[in-house]
């Protein structure tokens, strides 16, 4: 029996538009996605604040909570939990130059408003986690802001969130670049340092996305392991990425099966999920994918994860131990290759 439960965000099923071309598939409405996510075996949904409450700017704080309560009823109908709420601090005109570390005081205030509203929504959805993907937090022009000031702004914003709600946990999803040029919090190491500098480090952790680690030139399994060692891996965004180029959000495991195997292995060996953590996916269908196949990348990611979980179950730890004792890493490496290729 698998120890894992899976989560997904509504943006994982999208119409295929990119920076260079218009949509290639029909938009699918939110309720249809929810029903399909439940049918595919997902247990929880990841939300941006405006996935949960579209047009959030148009409502009062009370109206936003009311809308969130309506959404909760919908989730209950499908037996789905809410995993997290993430303030979307990159689409609004107030977030052109970032959110918490924007150079405009008015825009920083707007970013805090979105962060507080995300917390309000989370509480109504019976969830205690806010994810911060810090899309535009950094510089496009290196001399435009001080990295010292910007880092302190982030710590101050997180402290305000922790003070606003004594139960809320803040989970930073690091990414080294895109859409920003130089990010302020690019890796899990940065996240751990920020956590330690806040007023309650036990409530500040990380969300490791495989593609983001690869974009930083790092190994996703080691980034996961680092956060696990600190007791601060709050969730993951599994996917895949072909080297250092635009963020691809490919189906989990399709570019580097061995790296994917090691992500499943480190999660499984360390009892990930035993405190209610979900295995989150953050995957995108290709632009060429048809309407009929628009959930295939999710189905395939789940299939690959589960197949790799079986490989981890079969992993021969006695043989590994022997190889380590004799330092026969050639044999250990070939053993892993054979395991993955299905050669006994």
From the list 36-44, 63-71, 188-196, 202-210, the region that binds Mn ion by CB under 5 A is: 202-210
Q: Rank residues 18 and 66 by Cβ distance to ligand XUL and give the closer one.
A: 18
Q: What is the DSSP letter of 291?
A: S
Q: What are phi and psi of 301, to 5 degrees?
A: -60, -40
Q: Are 46 and 102 in contact (CB under 8 A)?
A: no
Report how far residue 224's alpha carbon sits from residue 302's, in angstroms, rounded to the nearest whole number.
19
Shortest Å, Cβ 182 to ligand XUL: 16
Residue 250 binds which one of Mn ion, ligand XUL, none, with CB within 5 to 8 A depending on kind? none
Q: Contacting ligand XUL (CB under 6 A), which of 108, 145, 175, 297?
A: 175
Helix and strand element counts for the chain (H, E): 12, 10
Measure the N-to-C terminal CA separation of the chain; round to a whole number of Å.
24
Contact between 117 and Mn ion by CB under 5 A: the answer reads no
186, 177, 263, 178: which is closest to 228 by C-alpha? Answer: 263
What region does 7 belong to: left with phi over 0, alpha with psi -120 to 50, or beta? beta
For ligand XUL, the closer of residues 120 and 282 by Cβ is 282
- Based on CB atoms, which residue is closest to Mn ion, 107 or 282? 282
Binding-residue pattern over the window 231 to 270 for Mn ion, x denoting contact by CB under 5 A: ------x---------------------------------
Least Cβ distance, residue 336 to ligand XUL (angstroms): 29
Residue of the chain from 237, 250, 265, 284 that contacts ligand XUL (CB under 6 A): 237
Dist CA 308 CA 54 (whole Å): 37
Tokens coding 190: 């940065």
- Identity of the residue, 145 or 250, whose beta carbon is nearer to Mn ion in the bound complex: 250
Residue the block writes with tokens 């920020």: 194
- CA-to-CA separations, 181 to 18, 49, 141, 144, 255, in angstroms, rounded: 19, 25, 8, 12, 25
Among 187, 282, 294, 301, binds ligand XUL (CB under 6 A): 282
- According to the binding rule CB under 6 A, does residue 173 interact with ligand XUL? yes
Residue numbers 62-121 binding ligand XUL by CB under 6 A: 86
Which residues in the 34-53 window bind ligand XUL by CB under 6 A?
48
Does 247 bind ligand XUL (CB under 6 A)? Our answer is yes
Query: Using the rule CB under 6 A, which residue among 51, 124, 137, 209 binds ligand XUL?
Result: 209
271 vs 247: CA distance, rounded Å: 29
Residues of this chain that interact with ligand XUL (CB under 6 A) are 48, 86, 133, 173, 175, 209, 237, 247, 282
């Amino acid at each position: 029996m698998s120890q894992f439960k899976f989560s997904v965000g509504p943006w994982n099923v999208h119409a295929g538009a990119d920076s260079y071309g218009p949509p290639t598939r029909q938009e699918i409405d939110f309720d249809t996605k929810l029903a399909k996510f439940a049918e595919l075996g997902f247990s929880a949904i990841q939300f941006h604040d405006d996935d949960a409450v579209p047009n959030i700017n148009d409502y009062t704080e009370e109206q936003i909570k009311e809308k969130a309560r309506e959404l909760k009823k919908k989730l209950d109908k499908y037996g789905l939990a809410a995993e997290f709420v993430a303030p979307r601090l990159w689409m609004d005109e107030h977030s052109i130059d970032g959110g918490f570390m924007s150079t405009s005081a008015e825009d920083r205030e707007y970013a805090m408003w979105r962060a507080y509203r995300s917390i309000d929504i989370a509480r109504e959805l019976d969830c205690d986690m806010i994810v911060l993907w810090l899309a535009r937090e950094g510089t496009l022009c290196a001399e435009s802001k001080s990295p010292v000031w910007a880092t302190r702004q982030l710590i101050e914003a997180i402290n305000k969130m922790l003070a606003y709600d004594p139960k809320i946990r803040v989970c930073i999803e690091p990414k080294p670049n895109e859409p920003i040029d130089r990010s302020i919090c690019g890796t899990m190491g940065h996240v751990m340092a920020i956590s330690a500098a806040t007023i309650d480090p036990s409530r500040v952790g990380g969300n490791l996305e495989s593609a983001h680690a690869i974009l930083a030139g790092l190994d996703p399994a080691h980034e996961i392991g680092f956060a696990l060692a600190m007791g601060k891996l709050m969730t993951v965004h599994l996917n895949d990425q072909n080297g250092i180029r635009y963020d691809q959000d490919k189906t989990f495991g399709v570019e580097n099966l061995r790296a994917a195997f090691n992500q499943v292995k480190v999660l499984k060996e360390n009892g990930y999920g035993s405190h209610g953590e979900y295995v989150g996916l953050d995957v995108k269908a290709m632009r060429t994918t048809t309407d009929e196949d628009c959930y295939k990348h999710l189905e395939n990611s789940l299939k690959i994860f589960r197949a790799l979980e079986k490989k981890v179950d079969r992993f021969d730890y006695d043989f590994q131990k022997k190889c380590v004792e004799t330092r026969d890493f050639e044999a250990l490496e070939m053993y892993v290759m054979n395991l993955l290729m299905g050669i006994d």
